[in-house]
Structure formats: structure tokens, C-alpha cells
Amino acid sequence: MNKVSAIQMTSTPSIIENLTIVESLIKTAVGHGSGLIVLPEMFPIVGLETSDKVKISESFGNGQIQDFLSKQAKINNIWIVGGTIPIKSEDPYKVKAACLVYDDKGNVAGRYDKMHLFDVIVSESESYQESSTTVPGEDISIVNTPFGKLGLSVCYDIRFPELFRRLFNLGAEIFTIPAAFTIKTGQAHWEVLARSRAIENFCYVIGSCQTGTHNNGRNTYGHSLIINPWGEIISLLADGVGVITSEIDLDKLKQIRKNIPVAEHQKIFYTET
């Protein structure tokens, strides 16, 4: 019951194709004995245009993608961290990048809307303006699960340690980070940032990633990983579509936190929600 998995995939513009792949990979993870499965950012669609996700967006609580995740959680008796799903916002031209957590009965147990949006210039030929189609979230989220307390985040959030320290102060034991890192930033920063978030807070990190070349020409870095609270990578999938699985040992986490009690030694606190 303490095994967790991260799924890695190369999402396409076809929701049906992507959900079929996810279903197969979930079966693989279940076969590994996993009870908690984390999906990548944008798993339902990487469109030919950034606005494609707006066209297929769903109202919260109703839609093909949400129904699929609920069903998969229920029939497999697992918890699912649903990457990001385009959920309608008050702006008809923008969505919320919502990470929905489903319990083993198929019910929504938590929601986090991506807070930090990827508006960056990666190089002279590669830039992104996520805010053109996405409304930023405002609230952080902790979800109680049989595997530990999840602190939810998404991709670019990883660069903002204040978010993770706030999640830690609220009791998080596992950080989930669905991601779609670029090649350039992934090679330079993905692993070191993920390990840093684990080490700073003595938390497990589950990073579930997009990988490879997508139909729109975008290249994503892959390197899905699971990191233990000491900052060691205990499972890694560099390239290709697949699943990684590892065990969560909360006793080990508690012992590390007892030996190095950063929660007691902390002097500066971030109280914003």
C-alpha cells in the first residue's frame, strides 16, 4: 500500500489517444503494486496551438477527462494525482491548470490550480507565455492520503521554495510535481531543484514528466523521478514513455526530521496562502 508511481508520456493533440496511453500505463503501475499514481502536466492534451486546451476545457466536476480519472481510480482501487486538467475559468479565453487528486473510490479529494505561470524566454528561438491562456491559482493544497500528506505543485512552481516551505509547515510529507520541462531548463535545473525541495523540507518528491518531441514541435525533458527525504534519487526514467515505482517509508522520513529538526529551528515563516 506504500508504493507510489510516476507516469511519463509524450502527450499529443488527441485526448482519446492520450487517455488510452494513460490507461495502459496505470495498469502497468498497478501491476507494480502501486497505490498512488502521479500523471504529468498536460497529460490530456499538448495541442498544436496553446489555445487548444481552452477548446477542450471542462467545468469542474464534469467532463470526459475527469470522468476517466474517477473511473480509473475506482476500478483500480488507487489514488491518482491528475497532472493538470484544463478547467474552465471565469475568462472564456483562459483555463485553470488544475491538478485534481482522486481517492480510491473515485472521489475528488483535493484540487490545486497552478499558481506560478511559465512566462519566460528560454532562448532566442524558444519562449512561452502561459498566462495568455491560463489563469493563475491562488490557494495551496494539502491532501491527506494513506501514503502520507501530499503537497501539490506543478512544474514551474518548483522554482519557488516559499511554496514548498509553506506546504512543509502545513504538514506535507510528499511533494507531487507534474511537469513538462524544456530541454534547456531541464538539463540545467530539473534534478537539482527537485532534490533541493526534498532536502530543504525532508520530504519525498514525485516528479512526473512529459518527454520527447510533441506534435507541435515542442521538446520536453522527461527524467521523471522519485526522491527520498535525504535527497537521493531512488527511481528515474530519463527518456521514453513508461512508469517508475518506489516505496514510501514515512518512518524513515520521521527519523530524518527528528535527527535534523528543521521545523523546530526555523526562524522565518511564510504565512501567505
CB atoms within 10 A of CB 234: 14
CA neighbor of 137 nearest in space, from 193, 89, 180: 89
List, in sequence order, every residue forming a beta bridge with 30; answer none if it has no partner. Answer: none
For residues 123 and 93, the answer to whether their CB atoms sit within 8 Å is: no
CB atoms within 10 A of CB 173: 23
**Catalytic annotation present for 114:** yes
Amino acid, res. 157: D
**Catalytic annotation present for 155:** yes
> What's the rounded Cα separation, in Å, for the pair 171 and 169?
5
**Catalytic annotation present for 209:** no
For residues 135 and 84, the answer to whether their CB atoms sit within 8 Å is: no
**Chain centroid offset of residue 43 CA:** 10
Q: Taking every pair of C-alpha atoms in the chain, what is the biggest distance, in angstroms?
A: 51
Q: Which of 53, 88, 96, 114 is catalytic?
A: 114
For residues 113 and 137, the answer to whether their CB atoms sit within 8 Å is: yes
> What's the rounded Cα separation, in Å, for the pair 113 and 207?
17
> What's the rounded Cα separation, in Å, for the pair 227 and 198?
7
Alpha carbon separation from 216 to 47, 52, 268 (Å, rounded): 7, 11, 44
Q: Which of 155, 173, 203, 209 is catalytic?
A: 155
SS3 77: coil
Phi-psi region of 33 (alpha: psi -120 to 50; beta: other; left: phi over 0): left
Active site residues: 41, 114, 155
